[in-house]
Chain A
Amino acid sequence: MNIWIAIGVTAVGCYAVKLIGLLIPAGALERPLVQRLAALLPVALLAALTAQQTFADGRLLVLDARAAGLAAAAVALLLRAPFLLVVAAAVLVTAGVRAMTGG
């Protein structure tokens, strides 16, 4: 049930912000500070999420095969690989390291 609540709240919230952008008059969010904050907010969230989903096991910090997978994704990004290839590199390297180490 909790999961359905989370889905419902997220769906309503995310749709509302999309619609607000289309409905409010131009200029209302054009203040430079608001614009810069809006650009920086995803940077903070994505960085924190990347780190957590790589190094967290529940509420513990761990270093496991996912770190190797993320490193592979980073290399793929530096080589300007397409999106799907970046994800595939992370998945394959994680699976490979896990198969070798049993971890």
Chain B
Amino acid sequence: MRADAYGDDGGKSDAAVVRDALGVGVAVGLSGFAFGVTSAGSGLTVLQTCALSLLVFTGASQFALVGALAGGGNPFTAAAGAFFLGVRNAFYGLRLSQLLALPRAVRPFAAQWVIDETTAVALAQPTRRSVRIGFTVTGLSLYVLWNLTTLLGALGAEAIGDTDAWGLDAAGPAVFLALLAPMVRTALERVVAALAVVLGLGLLPVLPGGVPVLVAALAAPVALWADGRRRARTKTVGGRDAAEGKR
């Protein structure tokens, strides 16, 4: 955020908010192309691919769903993995609902735009007016572009045929890695990621498609439980400050 973008009242000029929001909306909106290509390359039709971007509109879940379907998962395990990835949006909504203070009648319409990027932009704004502008502009630009580039990507994938020859099957995992990277900072987060990788790969040959990812998700509560026990133990031997200091 630019320092010169703040007005006299300590708020931020509308133009500056729109500029920041468009920056995020356009950059991320363009990556709908990667989704369109990946989805069509995974065997979904153009119509199915576009339906996902229009109706689901949360990138990680969309990539997860087409990946699971391509891997031969049954529709419900595939949808379950995508759903669990989408659960974080509920927590975004909780934060946004306080900041946006929307009338109840508007909320069902705003809900579809409650995702990583709109939340990131909205939370960075200083006033309610700029929160609302940031959320709306990011949501609108991202929704329009994401769906447009999804369509182009899907049509492009159909045109070039073998998407694997172009390395496009690497787009999905690269997207996941880019989403994951900023989330892995603490030791606990690294443990969860490592455990999930081991479970996800180790169980792949023995469990039906889509199920290993769901089992790997258990790395989160298991690591949290183990961490809680470890802290409780350090607390009893009086090492509480040392343990807290590490966080």
Contact call A43/B174, Cβ cutoff below 8 A = no
Q: A14-B61, A44-B217 are in contact. Are A95 and B166 (CB under 8 A)?
A: yes
Residues of B within 8 A of A93 (CB): 167, 170
Interface members, chain B 182-212 (any A CB < 8 Å): 183-184, 188-189, 192-197, 199-201, 204-205, 209, 212
Contacts of A92 in B (CB 8 A): 167
Give the size of the chain B interface in residues (CB under 8 angstroms): 97
Contact A47 B174 (CB under 8 A): no
> Given B88, B184, B200, which contacts A49 in the complex, CB threshold below 8 Å?
B200
- Chain B CB within 10 Å, residue with most, of A49, A70, A86, A89: A49
**Inside 8 A of B61's CB, which chain A residues have their CB?**
10, 14
Task: For chain A, residues 27 to 57, give those with C-beta under 8 angstroms from any C-beta of chain B.
Answer: 28-30, 33, 35-56
Highest count of chain A CB atoms <10 Å: which of B107, B173, B188: B173
**Which of B55, B64, B87, B173 lies in contact with A17, CB distance below 8 A?**
B87
How near does chain B come to A99, taking the closest CB pair, in angstroms?
8
Decide if the interface of chain A is mainly helix, strand, loop or mixed.
helix
Question: For residue B104, which residue of chain A has the nearest CB?
Answer: A23
In the complex with contacts A87-B31, A93-B167, A44-B71 CB distance below 8 A: no
A6 to B76, CA, bound (A): 6
A36 nearest CB neighbor, chain B only: B224
Q: Are A94 and B178 in contact (CB under 8 A)?
A: no
CB B44 to nearest CB in A, in angstroms, measures 6
| Known contacts A38-B91, A52-B200, A94-B167: A47-B193 contact under CB 8 Å | yes
What 0/1 readout, one digit per residue, does chain B (74-117) give for beta carbons within 8 Å of chain A? 11101101111111111111101110001010011011101100
Q: Are A6 and B78 in contact (CB under 8 A)?
A: yes
Q: Which residues of the partner chain A approach B219 to less than 8 Å between Cβ atoms?
A: 44, 47-48
Q: Which of A23, A48, A60 contacts B200 (CB 8 A)?
A: A48
List 10 additional A-B contacts (Cβ < 8 Å) besides A11-B56, A45-B85, A51-B200.
Answer: A11-B55, A18-B115, A39-B88, A47-B196, A47-B219, A48-B212, A59-B72, A90-B170, A93-B167, A96-B167
Residues of B bordering A, CB below 8 Å: 27-28, 30-31, 34, 44, 48, 51-52, 55-58, 60-61, 63-65, 67, 69, 71-72, 74-76, 78-79, 81-94, 96-98, 102, 104, 107-108, 110-112, 114-115, 164-181, 183-184, 188-189, 192-197, 199-201, 204-205, 209, 212-213, 216-221, 223-224
A-B residue pairs in contact (CB < 8 Å), sample of 21: A6-B69, A6-B79, A10-B52, A10-B61, A14-B58, A19-B108, A21-B91, A42-B88, A43-B220, A45-B85, A47-B193, A47-B200, A48-B199, A48-B212, A49-B176, A51-B196, A52-B213, A55-B201, A73-B170, A91-B167, A98-B167
